[in-house]
């Protein structure tokens, strides 16, 4: 019998095994979050009271971390343990944005936007109202992707030089880097909800 095959794996090798149930390793989360925020290991260590060498080993998957230490580490990035590892979003209540608190823009005669911005998530939501015969009057062109959901009436969306008729219930998605605009050729009001995955204004 070859006893070498029965030798236990090292602690380092065990730490590098795939995590059970697909849970992220704390070290992987640490590296991602601190890179996103431009923080060095020394910066993180100074805020959570753990050593640079310990955090470096954690990132490499060479060591484990106790719950109390993980809680201190998560707090550096504004998380609890659950949200740090992706098990929860850290909030137990929804964010509610009443209509009167949303930014209102008069984009053109007969065209009104209500804008809800969410910069931390990288998108904004627009509720656009078009009176009969109104048009945006300008061609928009910006980075990102737009998702348009018609909720009332009919609009003509002109995208990259081509007209597309959108009726209530229709959806459209496009790369926002090409010129696009809207007009209401009908004698009824029209409305859409747009999700813009970039800053438009």
Q: What are the residue ranges of CATH 2.60.120.10 in the chain?
A: 99-196
Contact call for residues 114 and 107 (beta carbons, < 8 A): no
Q: Which fold has domain 3-84?
A: 434 Repressor (Amino-terminal Domain) (1.10.260)
Q: pLDDT digit string (tens) for 57-76?
A: 999 999 889 989 999 998 89
Q: What pLDDT was estimated at residue 18?
A: 45
Q: Is the pLDDT assigned to residue 20 strictly greater than 50? A: no
Q: Which fold has domain 99-196?
A: Jelly Rolls (2.60.120)
Q: What are the residue ranges of CATH 1.10.260.40 in the chain?
A: 3-84
For the chain, give the mean pLDDT: 83
Q: What pLDDT was estimated at residue 47?
A: 93
Q: pTM of the full predicted structure? A: 0.55
Torsion of CA 100, 101, 106, 107, to 10 degrees: -130
């Amino acid at each position: 019998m070859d006893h070498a095959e029965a030798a236990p794996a090292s602690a380092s090798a065990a730490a590098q095994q795939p995590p059970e149930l697909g849970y992220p390793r704390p070290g992987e989360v640490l590296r991602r979050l601190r890179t996103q925020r431009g923080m060095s290991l020394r910066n993180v260590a100074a805020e959570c009271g753990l050593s640079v060498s310990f955090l470096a080993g954690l990132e490499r998957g060479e060591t484990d971390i106790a719950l109390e230490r993980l809680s201190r580490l998560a707090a550096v990035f504004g998380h609890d343990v659950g949200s740090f590892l992706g098990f929860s979003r850290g909030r137990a209540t929804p964010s509610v944005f009443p209509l009167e608190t949303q930014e209102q823009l008069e984009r053109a005669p007969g065209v009104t936007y209500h804008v809800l911005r969410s910069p931390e998530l990288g998108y904004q939501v627009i509720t656009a109202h078009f009176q009969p015969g109104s048009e945006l009057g300008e061609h928009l062109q910006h980075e990102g992707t737009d998702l348009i959901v018609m909720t009332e009436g009919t609009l003509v969306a002109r995208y990259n030089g081509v007209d597309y008729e959108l009726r209530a219930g229709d959806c459209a998605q496009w790369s926002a880097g090409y010129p696009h605009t809207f007009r209401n050729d009908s004698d009824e009001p029209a409305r859409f909800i747009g999700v813009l995955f970039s800053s438009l204004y």
